[in-house]
Amino acid sequence: MRAKTWLFSALLVVAPLAAQASCESVKADISKKIINNGVPESGFTLDIVPNDQANAAGGQVVGHCENDSQKIVYKRTGADSETNVPANAGTTQDAPSQ
């Protein structure tokens, strides 16, 4: 009986670690697919965020883990990223007509 109690206690301690590892493995799989599509590793980030913060993360949700309680958010970085354009840059539509 003691062995069963000890085993159950050990599983309770290890379970959160296994859940985090599963998110990391999903993130690694998604990263590998993005790199295989020709995007350099320095050209993007993948962030694991809580489900309720996914919209505020400022990227595109590309995966989920931990029974859909965590989202994996993709953000482009580098020269062709929209985040590198100053907010006051505007467009040609903003220029006065002559």
Alpha-carbon distance values, 34 to 12, 31, 89 (Å): 34, 5, 29
For 74, half-sphere exposure in the C-beta direction (CA atoms, 13 angstrom radius) is: 20
- Please state whether the predicted TM-score (pTM) of the whole model is above 0.85: no
pLDDT digits (tens, 9 = 90+) for 47-65: 999 999 988 888 999 999 9
Alpha-carbon distance values, 67 to 11, 61, 84, 98 (Å): 18, 15, 34, 57
Helix (H, G, I), strand (E, B) or coil at 85: coil
pLDDT-based confidence at residue 83 (cuts at 50, 70, 90) = very low
pLDDT of the residue at 93: 39
